[in-house]
A and B are shown apart, each in its own frame.
Chain A
Amino acid sequence: MPFGNTHNNFKLNYKSEEEFPDLSKHNNHMAKVLTKEMYAKLRDKQTPTGYTLDDVIQTGVDNPGHPFIMTVGCVAGDEESYEVFKDLLDPVISDRHGGYKPTDKHKTDLNWQNLKGGDDLDPNYVLSSRVRTGRSIKGYSLPPHNSRGERRAVEKLSVEALNSLDGEFKGKYYPLKSMTDAEQEQLIADHFLFDKPVSPLLLAAGMARDWPDARGIWHNDNKTFLVWVNEEDHLRVISMQKGGNMKEVFKRFCVGLQKIEEIFKKHNHGFMWNEHLGYILTCPSNLGTGLRGGVHVKLPKLSQHPKFEEILTRLRLQKRGTGGVDTASVGGVFDISNSDRLGSSEVDQVQCVVDGVKLMVEMEKKLEKGESIDSMIPAQK
């Protein structure tokens, strides 16, 4: 937990071996990387806002993980965390993001016109399309570390920016702490409401402090563009609609994001971004584009095919249940989205989804007719 910069100095009275966490039963990216020597080297450092190594790793120490699911096991408390603790975070990033090197450059492309196709995914199979990302506001600490004052400042700025949007983006902000019962019911019915985190991964990182102060949901009148304020990141931006027109979803996503960014820049608080890590977010797994673009798609036959997992891997896609991460699929409907975040652009990643889902729907149709799909199995992208 944050804020005790004098305490980090006090801890230095104990030897490094005495403070080094016991990671012998742990299976997460942080535990794979953090050695006693690295701990000794980094333990007396802190970022300008006072975030320390123990703060970075606390969630990974408290949540040993699972042999089959590699969690990240560390978070950033501010933009500078990625620099001050690069000895730890670079290898974690490399391991998590397919070998991404400390010298690699990340490409940002939010020009929706560069997306080819994507407006014609078969709505008999593709039930809905959605793109989300996160954004951090430069000059403020991140959710594991920020104070109430900072969080409120982020909310204030965000609400100002969002309320100045017009046209199809015109909308309204609903702060969590003063929501009426009726508003809450409606937001739940729309599947928009987010609740206080219960995941021990998030709680251990201190992200739920002061809940629900300065947390809220903004959405446009059409209910196709949604922003979460101060949940796991400063902002989570979501574009979504029923059916298979991913191009329209992505267009709205890019246009909306850019409008919002402009307004923040005018207030001298742009988004955290650099040419190596792209958009800076709380969890190292969301660096780069922070983008998860996906569809809810009916694949009852393909999902039972022995090569389903392999096809997804080759297409650089992942599957989830329709409840989101760590849920099961229901009725053969899967959430299919891009696996990558860092090292490819937004357009690249949504293109993977569009092309990949198109192919999988074709495969599903073949299997419905009892035909083989062997000739359609793709090469590794």
Chain B
Amino acid sequence: MATLTIKRLPPEDECPDLSQHHNHMAKVLTPDMYKELSERCTPNGFTLDKVIQTGVDNPGHPFIMTVGCVAGDEETYEVFKELLDPIIQDRHGGYKPTDKHKTDLNPNNLKGGDDLDPNYVLSSRVRTGRSIRGFCLPPHCSRGERRAIEKLSVEALGALDGDLKGKYYALKNMTDAEQQQLIDDHFLFDKPVSPLLLASGMARDWPDARGIWHNDNKTFLVWVNEEDHLRVISMQKGGNMREVFTRFCTGLTKIEELFKNKGHAFMWNEHLGYVLTCPSNLGTGLRGGVHVKLPNLSKHAKFEEVLKRLRLQKRGTGGVDTAAVGGVFDISNADRLGFSEVELVQMVVDGVKLLIEMEKRLEKGQSIDDLIPAQK
């Protein structure tokens, strides 16, 4: 922790007006807490104001609780724990400052998952994020740091072989043909437009040091320097989640080794698991899910309740904040922290299997009352 040396007005004059705000940060930050924490900054110079800027600028919505704060480096979670611990607790189902998070990236521990009905499950996907220790995170990193992350990442990914062998496409010198192909493959990410991201400074210097790597088979994809240092995605058509998860774990473990060989670990600790930019992605940072046809079930009065009990969430097929099209939903795990990767993917596998059974029942005009699960 360092002391902020810049001259400021007294904390009472600087404290944000959060009276119209609905986000986790606004629920937690009091004027007294502001006063205490505004004296501090991380060793890399990340301040309280920078942690909360996105939440101040984006008041949020009564129905959708955004997090309203970000980390600028690994130390943010320690230096500003008085603010972040309660937010983490609120966001991650009561996770306590003393809790330990379990990491399990052994795909052999997953039971089943290779036989989700492809008549219903159109595609399967698992994604997570990784931060590289020793560098500041996207809200705060300099161009030099971002480029160093890109260089390291491209070297590490370039050493992958077998079915993981692939190629890197830097955003800033992509050809039109490459761009079109990446769009067609649904791989291309664009400059963030969400005010939530822009307000935290993540889009600075775009598109410098941003890029997309993918394997030749187009089943393993890494985004470099978007919302996190790395976003790692394993995906394929159909319902073989087991295969997707196996590739995910194998690929991630190899990448982690390659980084370690270069003297760079991923940010991780036994309390928060993998450390990422947004507190909502702590722990596993994992969102595993399927695109699945549930036209009957989605209209059932108990659909939301069933999802909740299965610890799953629904999105449209465009991803977060999109609507479902043609009865096809994106169903994924709701949790990130406090459960391991295997546990979360198990929930998706078991839950989706059950949802499909329910869908089939409803197709035949039968009741699903006896299938309604207990709260997991």
Q: Which residues of the partner chain B approach A62 to less than 8 Å between Cβ atoms?
A: 203-206
Q: Which residues of the partner chain B approach A153 to less than 8 Å between Cβ atoms?
A: 9, 13
Q: Is the CB of A149 within 8 A of B9?
A: yes
Q: Which residues of the partner chain B approach A58 to less than 8 Å between Cβ atoms?
A: 204
A145 nearest CB across to chain B (Å): 10
Q: Which of B10, B17, B47, B143 is A19 in contact with, Cβ under 8 Å? A: B143
Q: A18-B144, A54-B142, A208-B57 are in contact. Are A3 and B50 (CB under 8 A)?
A: yes
Q: Which of A6, A20, A204 is B44 in contact with, Cβ under 8 Å? A: A6
Q: A4-B46, A14-B142 are in contact. Are A210 and B208 (CB under 8 A)?
A: no
Q: B262 at interface (Cβ–Cβ under 8 A)?
A: no
Q: Which of B8, B20, B44, B199 is A7 in contact with, Cβ under 8 Å? A: B44
* Interface core residue of B5, B41, B140, B143 (most chain A CB under 10 Å): B143
Q: B45 at interface (Cβ–Cβ under 8 A)?
A: yes
Q: A170 at interface (Cβ–Cβ under 8 A)?
A: no
Contact with A along B187-207 (1 / 0, CB 8 A): 000000000001101011110
How many angstroms from the CA of A147 to the CA of B50 in the assembled complex? Answer: 11
Q: Which residues of the partner chain B approach A9 to less than 8 Å between Cβ atoms?
A: 45
Q: Which residues of the partner chain A approach B7 to less than 8 Å between Cβ atoms?
A: 49
Contact with B along A60-83 (1 / 0, CB 8 A): 011000000000000000000000
Q: A62-B204, A147-B49 are in contact. Are A203 and B148 (CB under 8 A)?
A: no
Closest B residue to A46 by CB, please name it.
B6
Q: Is the CB of A147 within 8 A of B204?
A: no
How many angstroms from the CA of A9 to the CA of B6 in the assembled complex? Answer: 13
Q: Which residues of the partner chain A approach B49 to less than 8 Å between Cβ atoms?
A: 3, 147
B144 nearest CB across to chain A (Å): 3
Q: Is the CB of B144 within 8 A of A14?
A: yes
Q: Which residues of the partner chain A approach B9 to less than 8 Å between Cβ atoms?
A: 147, 149-150, 153
Q: Is the CB of A177 within 8 A of B17?
A: yes
Q: A209 at interface (Cβ–Cβ under 8 A)?
A: yes
Closest B residue to A206 by CB, please name it.
B201
Q: A147-B14, A149-B10 are in contact. Are A10 and B148 (CB under 8 A)?
A: no
Q: A265 at interface (Cβ–Cβ under 8 A)?
A: no
* Interface core residue of A21, A58, A149, A209 (most chain B CB under 10 Å): A149
Q: Which residues of the partner chain A approach B172 to less than 8 Å between Cβ atoms?
A: 22
Q: How many A-B residue pairs have CB under 8 A?
A: 99
How many angstroms from the CA of A187 to the CA of B57 in the assembled complex? Answer: 23
Closest B residue to A4 by CB, please name it.
B45
Q: Is the CB of B14 within 8 A of A148?
A: yes
Q: A191 at interface (Cβ–Cβ under 8 A)?
A: no
How many angstroms from the CA of A1 to the CA of B234 in the assembled complex? Answer: 35
How many angstroms from the CA of A20 to the CA of B142 in the assembled complex? Answer: 10
Q: Is the CB of B6 within 8 A of A5?
A: yes
Residues facing A in B124-152 (CB within 8 A) are 136, 140, 142-145, 147-148
Q: A242 at interface (Cβ–Cβ under 8 A)?
A: no
Q: B84 at interface (Cβ–Cβ under 8 A)?
A: no
Q: Which residues of the partner chain B approach A209 to less than 8 Å between Cβ atoms?
A: 53, 56-57, 199
Closest B residue to A211 by CB, please name it.
B57
How many angstroms from the CA of A148 to the CA of B57 in the assembled complex? Answer: 12
Closest A residue to B11 by CB, please name it.
A149
Q: Which of B6, B43, B142 is A3 in contact with, Cβ under 8 Å? A: B6
By secondary structure, the B interface counts as: loop
Residues facing B in A137-180 (CB within 8 A) are 147-150, 152-153, 177
Q: Which residues of the partner chain A approach B140 to less than 8 Å between Cβ atoms?
A: 4, 7
Q: Which residues of the partner chain A approach B327 to less than 8 Å between Cβ atoms?
A: none
Q: A87 at interface (Cβ–Cβ under 8 A)?
A: no
Q: A15-B144, A209-B57 are in contact. Are A152 and B13 (CB under 8 A)?
A: yes
Q: Is the CB of B6 within 8 A of A49?
A: yes
Q: Which residues of the partner chain A approach B203 to less than 8 Å between Cβ atoms?
A: 62
How many angstroms from the CA of A80 to the CA of B203 in the assembled complex? Answer: 27
Q: A58-B204, A153-B13, A213-B17 are in contact. Are A3 and B47 (CB under 8 A)?
A: yes
Q: A3-B47, A203-B198, A209-B57 are in contact. Are A21 and B143 (CB under 8 A)?
A: yes
Q: A41 at interface (Cβ–Cβ under 8 A)?
A: no
Q: Which residues of the partner chain A approach B20 to less than 8 Å between Cβ atoms?
A: 177
Q: Which residues of the partner chain B approach A22 to less than 8 Å between Cβ atoms?
A: 172, 208
Contact with B along A106-122 (1 / 0, CB 8 A): 00000000000000000
Residues facing A in B11-69 (CB within 8 A) are 13-17, 20, 41, 43-47, 49-50, 53, 56-57
Q: B2 at interface (Cβ–Cβ under 8 A)?
A: yes
A361 nearest CB across to chain B (Å): 45
Q: A11 at interface (Cβ–Cβ under 8 A)?
A: yes
Q: Which of B47, B144, B199 is A11 in contact with, Cβ under 8 Å? A: B144
Q: Which of A8, A14, A18, A210 is B57 in contact with, Cβ under 8 Å? A: A210
How many angstroms from the CA of A152 to the CA of B15 in the assembled complex? Answer: 11
How many angstroms from the CA of A119 to the CA of B305 in the assembled complex? Answer: 73
Q: Is the CB of B46 within 8 A of A1?
A: no
Q: Is the CB of B13 within 8 A of A149?
A: yes
Q: Is the CB of B8 within 8 A of A149?
A: yes
How many angstroms from the CA of A11 to the CA of B142 in the assembled complex? Answer: 7
Q: Is the CB of A5 within 8 A of B144?
A: no
A365 nearest CB across to chain B (Å): 49
Q: Is the CB of B50 within 8 A of A1?
A: yes
How many angstroms from the CA of A20 to the CA of B205 in the assembled complex? Answer: 11
Closest A residue to B15 by CB, please name it.
A148
How many angstroms from the CA of A62 to the CA of B203 in the assembled complex? Answer: 8
A315 nearest CB across to chain B (Å): 40
Residues facing B in A210-228 (CB within 8 A) are 210-211, 213
Q: Which residues of the partner chain B approach A147 to less than 8 Å between Cβ atoms?
A: 8-9, 14, 49
24 residue pairs bridging A and B, Cβ less than 8 Å apart = A1-B50, A3-B50, A4-B45, A5-B6, A6-B41, A6-B44, A7-B44, A7-B136, A10-B45, A14-B142, A14-B145, A18-B148, A50-B6, A62-B205, A62-B206, A148-B16, A149-B8, A149-B10, A149-B14, A150-B9, A153-B9, A177-B17, A210-B16, A210-B56
CB-CB nearest 6 A-B residue pairs: A149-B9, A7-B45, A14-B144, A6-B45, A149-B13, A4-B45
| Further 17 A-B residue pairs, CB within 8 A, beyond A62-B204, A152-B13, A209-B199 | A3-B50, A5-B5, A6-B2, A6-B5, A7-B45, A7-B46, A7-B136, A7-B142, A11-B142, A18-B143, A18-B148, A21-B143, A22-B208, A149-B8, A150-B9, A153-B13, A210-B16
Interface residues of A (CB under 8 A from B): 1, 3-11, 14-15, 18-22, 49-50, 54, 58, 61-62, 147-150, 152-153, 177, 203-204, 208-211, 213
